[in-house]
């Protein structure tokens, strides 16, 4: 009988609990039939939404409750855990995942100090099987770091937000990270508004050899002794330009230099979001959704990291692939190592493919478009980071023009190296350097063209998602896991809006930021926020108790909150009134700001909830009825045109009506473009029976 019981006990399966259901099948396949795999589908417990959920009087003890809708799942997990021979908690390998495992241990009655926690940086067979062999206790330092952030964010959000509701308008929110990010955007916009442009001039030249061949570009530099001259006005520029038109040009000095261009390091969370914005036009949220799926499918390593470390095994695999594919000269003598900033956590590697043999070409038919584009970017960046440096030949020429000097420079790629695969994108456009023709010192040159140009200094550029993520990382605001949700939140609250890729503050963003700066200066202070992040790091490192951090923050914060309640008066935000009449109640509609820009809304809300999109029109009449023509966007972003008199008039076209008339039949000429609106313009007659068309010449 005892033997039967022992046999039954040993036949029980081991239970592995992961975070995402996408991992279940992969992990089950790797571990085999002796394991049962279940998923938490995110958090099981959290602070309540309806109350603060933190017992201030009891030393800031959090009051966790079961998340609504997770009761049945918890019952299922309890039953499975009770029947398992061993339970492994395999939630994501970050602080949030560590906290979820800790909550699971509480729910399932598992000792958090037992060897119950396993993590894998990549969902591959070897890594998953090895993780089970090195199970460890739950790291309470990481759990406490997550609790510190959660409690601080809850205190700030739940105690300042009601004040904003009361004093400004309902639906607003403040946040320990989001408020300082809005301030960055507001401060940048005020820099732009306060900027005074200054005039300056440049003189561009096109020079040739003495036979009028091999033209190349040069720029005015200054006096013949090499001293640079600034051209600040038209009079000076014109005087020098007139002199240069009749000057003699001689090559005074040639400087040749061989330089190496180093490859960019593999991706971190921040640099992945930045590069996906530049090269793929992805938002941070879109990037992280795609990266999460690639990780769960086993194609990339964990995507929330600020480490640049690469495992020796992965480096060896990459180097062997590079040598076999491109040749030994593309493999550096020693594996490349990249140094992350001091504050980076080194728990994970940089983001890389789990196997370089899974080239993006092989996965093209297996991955959805977003996943394929992002995987291709990650694969190329990682492989390039392990390749030899590029070698460039740079030539600069000092050219005498009698009493003045002009300069020319050129770059030629001598050895492509990593540039065979990948070149990092830039936020600002760079002037491309072209190759210079062969020149010799003392050589006579001829002037072919000369162009003086007026310019004005430009204000700082507005933030894009890429540059905002970069600023957040550099200033120490938030963590890799918070960049994308923070940007999504400030957009959803209507604090910022977009103009193409640029992000700018709305009127509401200005008002709330000014209120926060005046009354909660620490919350929107960049240095204070960065210091708080460092203190959370200290908790993760086990150097300080988390409740000490919260206590030190709360005491002065609570005093500030009481003072703000007394001093802030009601702030009325007046809506701009339009001339559009609400067809439901007859009021004049007002302009409102949403996450996607302005729209029209009835001021009678909540009695009247009518809203309208603001319609863009063009300076041309409908070719059918003469009405106003509206510009519309399809679901895929394509532009088309409709009549404002719809449905009475059924005009709709991908081609844009113009004010030009057909010389053959007198009908409207339509402007169309091939290749999804990016090709050359063709003017065609709207009348289908008329065959008149022409292609306008470029001016």
Nearest to 383 by CA among 421, 334, 416: 421
Among the candidates 388, 416, 434, a domain finishes at 388
Q: Are residues 208 and 103 in the same domain?
A: no
**Strand 652-653 to strand 656-661: parallel, antiparallel, or no bridges (unpaired)?**
unpaired
- Catalytically annotated residue among 30, 64, 295, 302: 302
Give φ, ψ of 27 to 5 degrees.
Answer: -65, -40
Q: Are residues 556 and 673 in the same domain?
A: no
Residue 3 confidence (pLDDT) above 50 = no
- Kindly write down the DSSP assignment for every residue of 62-124, as one continuous string: E--EEPTT-HHHHHHHHHHHHT-SEEEEE--SSHHHHHHHHHHHHHHT--TTSS-B---SS--
Among the candidates 432, 456, 480, a domain finishes at 456
Token pair recorded at residue 164: 């904003």
Q: In terms of residue numbers, what domain contains 607?
A: 577-613
Spell out the residues 6+ positions from residue 25 whose beta carbon is closer than 8 angstroms to its own: none
Q: Are residues 257 and 404 in the same domain?
A: yes
**Between the ranges 246-250, 276-280, 412-416, 692-696, where is the mean pLDDT highest?**
246-250
With respect to residue 581, please indicate whether it lies within any of the assigned structural domains.
yes
| Residue 677 binned pLDDT confidence (cut-offs 50, 70, 90) | very low
| Helices 269-280 + 284-296 axis angle, to 10 | 120
pLDDT recorded at residue 494? 84
Mean pLDDT of 234-261: 95
pLDDT recorded at residue 56? 94
Nearest to 524 by CA among 547, 490, 481: 490
SS (H, E, C) 89-106: EECCCCHHHHHHHHHHHH
Q: What is the pTM of this model?
A: 0.77
Q: Are residues 530 and 493 in the same domain?
A: yes
- What does the alpha-carbon distance between residue 136 and residue 131 come to, in Å, rounded to a whole number? 9
DSSP state of 464: E
Nearest to 408 by CA among 202, 200, 212, 205: 205
pLDDT recorded at residue 355? 94
pLDDT recorded at residue 598? 73
- What does the alpha-carbon distance between residue 398 and residue 379 come to, in Å, rounded to a whole number? 42
Q: Are residues 405 and 258 in the same domain?
A: yes
Residue 1 confidence (pLDDT) above 60 = no
Give catalytic status of residue 483 as yes or no: no
Is residue 222 within 8 Å of residue 404, measured between CB atoms? yes
H-helix or E-strand containing 221? strand 216-223
Taken as a whole, the chain contains a residue count of 699
- What does the alpha-carbon distance between residue 167 and residue 176 come to, in Å, rounded to a whole number? 19
631-638 CB contacts, 8 Å cutoff, 24+ apart: 638/676, 638/677
**Residue that the structure tokens 């890389």 belong to:** 352
Mean pLDDT of 83-101: 94
pLDDT recorded at residue 400? 97
With respect to residue 4, please indicate whether it lies within any of the assigned structural domains.
no
Instruction: Please say whether the dihedral angle defined by the alpha carbons of residues 154, 159, 160 and 166, taken in this order, is positive or negative.
Output: positive
- What does the alpha-carbon distance between residue 592 and residue 611 come to, in Å, rounded to a whole number? 9
CATH of the domain at 157: 1.10.460.10
With respect to residue 444, please indicate whether it lies within any of the assigned structural domains.
yes
**Residue that the structure tokens 């490859």 belong to:** 263
Mean pLDDT of 386-404: 96
Q: Are residues 102 and 155 in the same domain?
A: no
Mean pLDDT of 349-365: 94
With respect to residue 61, please indicate whether it lies within any of the assigned structural domains.
yes
Among the candidates 388, 406, 422, a domain finishes at 388
Question: What's the number of domains the chain is made of?
Answer: 6
What is the per-residue pLDDT across 179-230, written as a single tens digit (0 to 9) for each?
999 999 999 999 999 999 999 999 999 999 988 899 999 999 999 999 999 9
Q: Are residues 477 and 546 in the same domain?
A: yes
Q: Are residues 129 and 166 in the same domain?
A: no
pLDDT recorded at residue 426? 65
Token pair recorded at residue 115: 């060897």
pLDDT recorded at residue 6? 44
Give, in order, the Cα–Cα distances in Å from 120 to each of 92, 117, 123, 133, 317.
Answer: 8, 10, 7, 12, 19
Token pair recorded at residue 361: 């070409």
Q: Are residues 164 and 304 in the same domain?
A: no
């Amino acid at each position: 009988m005892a033997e039967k019981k022992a046999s039954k006990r040993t036949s029980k399966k081991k239970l592995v609990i992961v975070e995402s259901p996408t991992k279940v099948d992969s992990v089950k396949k790797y571990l085999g039939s002796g394991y049962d795999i279940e998923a938490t589908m995110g958090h099981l417990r959290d602070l309540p939404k309806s109350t603060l959920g933190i017992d201030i009087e009891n030393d800031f003890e959090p009051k966790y409750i079961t998340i609504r809708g997770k009761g049945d799942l918890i019952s299922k997990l309890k039953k499975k855990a009770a029947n398992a021979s061993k339970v492994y908690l395999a939630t994501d390998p970050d602080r949030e995942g560590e906290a979820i495992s800790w909550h699971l241990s509480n729910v399932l009655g598992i000792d958090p100090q037992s060897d119950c926690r396993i993590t894998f940086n990549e969902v591959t067979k070897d890594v998953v099987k090895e993780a089970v062999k090195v199970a460890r206790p739950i790291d309470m330092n990481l759990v406490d770091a997550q609790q510190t952030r959660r409690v601080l964010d809850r205190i700030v959000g739940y105690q300042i937000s009601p004040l904003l509701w009361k004093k400004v308008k309902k639906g607003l929110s403040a946040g320990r990270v989001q408020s300082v990010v809005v301030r960055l955007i507001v401060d940048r916009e005020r820099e732009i508004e306060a900027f005074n442009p200054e005039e300056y001039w440049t003189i561009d030249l096109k020079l040739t050899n003495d036979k009028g061949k091999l033209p190349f570009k040069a720029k005015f530099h200054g006096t013949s002794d090499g001293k640079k001259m600034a051209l600040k006005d038209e009079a000076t520029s014109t005087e020098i330009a007139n002199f240069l038109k009749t000057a003699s040009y001689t090559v005074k000095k040639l400087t040749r230099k061989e330089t190496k261009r180093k490859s960019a390091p593999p991706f971190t969370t921040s640099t992945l979001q930045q590069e996906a914005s530049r090269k793929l036009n992805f938002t941070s949220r879109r990037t992280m959704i795609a990266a999460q799926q690639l990780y769960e499918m086993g194609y990339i390593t964990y995507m929330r990291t600020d480490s640049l470390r690469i495992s020796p095994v992965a480096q060896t695999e990459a180097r062997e692939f590079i040598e076999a594919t491109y040749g030994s000269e593309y493999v550096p003598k020693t594996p490349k190592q990249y140094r992350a900033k001091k504050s980076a956590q080194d728990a994970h590697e940089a983001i890389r493919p789990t196997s370089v043999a899974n080239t993006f070409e092989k996965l093209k038919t297996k991955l959805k478009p977003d996943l394929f584009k992002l995987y291709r970017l990650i694969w190329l960046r990682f492989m390039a980071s392990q390749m030899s440096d590029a070698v460039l030949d740079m030539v600069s020429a000092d050219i005498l023009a009698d009493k003045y000097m002009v300069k020319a420079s050129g770059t030629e790629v001598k050895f492509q190296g990593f540039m065979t695969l990948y070149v990092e994108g830039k936020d600002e456009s760079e002037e491309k350097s072209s190759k210079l023709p062969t020149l010799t010192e003392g050589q006579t040159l001829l002037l072919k063209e000369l162009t003086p140009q007026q310019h004005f200094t430009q204000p700082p550029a507005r933030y894009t998602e890429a540059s905002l993520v970069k600023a957040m990382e550099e200033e120490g605001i938030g963590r890799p896991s918070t960049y994308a949700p923070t940007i999504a939140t400030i957009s959803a609250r209507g604090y910022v809006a977009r103009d193409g890729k640029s992000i700018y503050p709305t009127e509401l963003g200005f008002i709330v930021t000014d209120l926060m700066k005046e009354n909660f200066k620490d919350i929107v202070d960049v240095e204070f926020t960065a210091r708080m992040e460092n203190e959370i790091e200290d908790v993760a490192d086990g150097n300080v108790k988390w409740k000490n951090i919260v206590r030190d923050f709360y005491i002065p914060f609570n005093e500030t909150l009481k003072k703000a309640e007394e001093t802030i008066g009601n702030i009325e935000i007046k809506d701009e009134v339009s001339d559009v009449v609400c067809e439901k109640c007859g009021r004049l509609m007002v302009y409102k700001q949403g996450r996607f820009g302005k729209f029209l809304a009835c001021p009678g809300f909540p009695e009247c909830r009518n809203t309208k999109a603001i319609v863009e029109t063009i300076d041309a009449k409908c070719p059918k009825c003469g009405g106003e023509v509206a510009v519309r966007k399809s679901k895929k972003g394509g532009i088309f045109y409709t009549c404002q008199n719809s449905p009475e008039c059924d005009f709709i076209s991908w081609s844009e009506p113009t004010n030009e008339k057909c010389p053959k039949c007198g009908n409207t000429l339509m402007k169309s473009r091939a290749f999804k609106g990016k090709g050359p313009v063709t003017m065609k007659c709207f009348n289908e029976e008329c065959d008149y068309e022409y292609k306008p010449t470029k001016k």
